[in-house]
Amino acid sequence: MINKNFWKKKRVLLTGFNGFKGSWMTLILNKLGAKVYGYSLNHRKEKLNNNILRLEKNCEKFEYGNILNKQKLFNFFSRIKPDLIIHMASKSTVIESYENPSTTFKTNTIGLINVLSLIKNSKIPAFILTSDKCYKNDEKKNIFSETDPLSGDDPYSASKACQEIICNSFKKSFNLKIATARAGNVIGGCDFTKDRIITDLIDSMFRKKELLLRNPNATRPWQHVLDLNINYLMFVQKFYYNKKLSGAWNFGPQKSYTVKKIIKYFYNKKKFKFKVKKSKFKEKKYLSLSDKKLKKLNIKNNFSINKSLALTYSWYEQYFNNKNNIYNFSIEQIDNAINQK
């Protein structure tokens, strides 16, 4: 369960604090009494998230900058003197990585090295979000566990495998406390990231755009952003005091579902136009994660797929019908999620 006493006044450097997952993490940490020190870009999508969820007001301090700017990141770190780092800033989609592989690799590798370099002397814990795409996936419907080999057939997946290698190198070379999170696909409110299924669905349902399905049979371990973020924090509570928990961890339900199921749920809520249009970029069709290691810490997903979809739909329905109340609605979703843990 969440230990509010642990988080009270804990100084957390949160990179990517205004991204999709980072926005919700900012609100959750603030709700728990932590002092959030946010570092992130401030482009159109990030500005939108900030306005919707009042992120700046939920931070003790924040700085807008690129994790590739090593000096600016170091200066911010030196001023705030955090107790721990949660690193969520990254390039986060496969399609974008095909379109701009150089930026994806730079951000996800050099940016990570800059973050890890912060703790070489301070020795504070660092919790790093990588991805379940880091595994060598031959699409034989294997359930991946943390000891399986790494690889990457597209730039995004390869960059995430590189992140795992970098974290392991820093951990062993400099005797650091570093844990990585290999999370399955995440859904939830306030995700306006291009080329994600939920964003595309919402555009179709509420903005009357035709939905183009790249791969309706793709199978993924879907999970809700609140379920996942709270599991992250439950893990960090244990990891903070136990260096033996350093290393790689899967985060996600073992059961996976097709994109078709996601489409069907939303279509039954609100009709929309869609068609299948195969992408020119290759994406893996099947991915499933073993959650056995994490369950040994008594941490598991609490939300069913239907509940995750219901929470996601209700957030966007509220956003498009009553934007003035969306912040309070989001806080209510957080309160309910914390109480379930």
Number of neighbouring beta carbons within 10 Å of residue 240? 18
The pLDDT of residue 235 is 98
Extents of the domains making up the chain? 4-340
Position 280 pLDDT exceeds 80: no
Q: In the structure, what pLDDT confidence band is assigned to residue 244 with cuts at 50, 70 and 90?
A: very high
Mark residue 142 as left, alpha or beta (left: phi above 0; alpha: psi -120 to 50; beta: remaining).
beta
Roughly what angle, to the nearest 10 degrees, separates helices 225-239 and 326-340?
50
In this prediction, residue 58 has a pLDDT band, given cuts at 50, 70 and 90, of very high
Phi first, then psi, for residue 213 (nearest 5°) are -90, 120
Q: What is the mean pLDDT of residues 248-273?
A: 93
Kindly report the pTM of this predicted structure. 0.96
Residue 307 has what pLDDT? 97
pLDDT of residue 15: 98
| Assigned CATH for 4-340 | 3.40.50.720
Torsion over CA: 324, 330, 331, 332 (sign): positive
pLDDT tops 90 at residue 316: yes
pLDDT band at 194 (very low <50, low <70, confident <90, very high): confident
The pair phi, psi for residue 5, each rounded to 5°, is -65, -35
Tell me what the mean pLDDT of segment 86-102 comes to: 94
Please tell me which residue, 53 or 215, carries the higher pLDDT value.
53
Q: Tell whether the model's pLDDT for residue 44 goes beyond 90.
A: no
Q: Residue 276: its pLDDT value, please?
A: 86
Q: Cite the beta strand spans of the chain per DSSP E.
A: 11-15, 35-40, 61-64, 84-87, 126-129, 143-144, 178-183, 186-187, 211-213, 219-220, 223-224, 247-251, 257-258, 274-276, 288-289
Residue-wise pLDDT tens digits, 139-168 = 887 899 999 999 999 999 999 999 999 999
Tell me, what's the pLDDT at 5?
97
* Nearest of 109, 245, 119 to residue 180 by alpha carbon: 245
128 pLDDT above the threshold of 90 = yes
The answer to whether 315 and 189 have CB atoms below 8 angstroms apart is yes
pLDDT of residue 278: 78
- Which pLDDT tens digit goes with each residue over 166-193? 999 999 999 999 999 999 999 999 999 8
Q: Compute the average pLDDT of residues 259-285.
A: 87
Residues 199-211: what's their mean pLDDT?
Answer: 89
Asked if residues 165 and 105 have their Cβ atoms less than 8 Å apart, the reply is no
What's the whole-number mean pLDDT along residues 90-109? 94
Average pLDDT over residues 259-273: 92
Mean pLDDT of 279-289: 84
| pLDDT of 49 strictly over 80 | yes
Summary mean pLDDT of the chain: 94
Condensed to tens digits (0 to 9), the pLDDT of residues 59-77 reads 999 999 999 999 999 999 9
